[in-house]
Amino acid sequence: MHALLKKAAVALPAAALMVALAPTAASADEPLGVRCAGGNAQLSAKPGLTIVGSKQQTWTGEGVTTGCKNVGSGKAVTSAIVFFEGNGKGACVPEFGIPNADLNGRITWNGGGPDVENKVSNVTGTSKLTWTGANFTGVVTDGPFKGKKVNATASWDFDLIAAAGGCFLGGYTNAIGTWDSLNIG
The reported pTM is: 0.80
Q: Are 69 and 79 in contact (CB under 8 A)?
A: no
- Alpha-carbon radius of gyration of the chain: 23
Q: Are 84 and 136 in contact (CB under 8 A)?
A: yes
Rounded Cα distance between 183 and 101, Å, is 19
Mean pLDDT of all residues in the chain?
84
Q: What is the mean pLDDT of residues 138-166?
A: 93
Rounded Cα distance between 81 and 74, Å, is 20
How do 149-156 and 133-142 pair as beta strands? Answer: antiparallel
**What's the pLDDT tens digit per position in 63-76?**
998 889 998 888 89
Better pLDDT: 151 or 160: 151
Distances (CA, A) of 34 to 65, 85, 91, 125, 159: 11, 21, 34, 18, 31
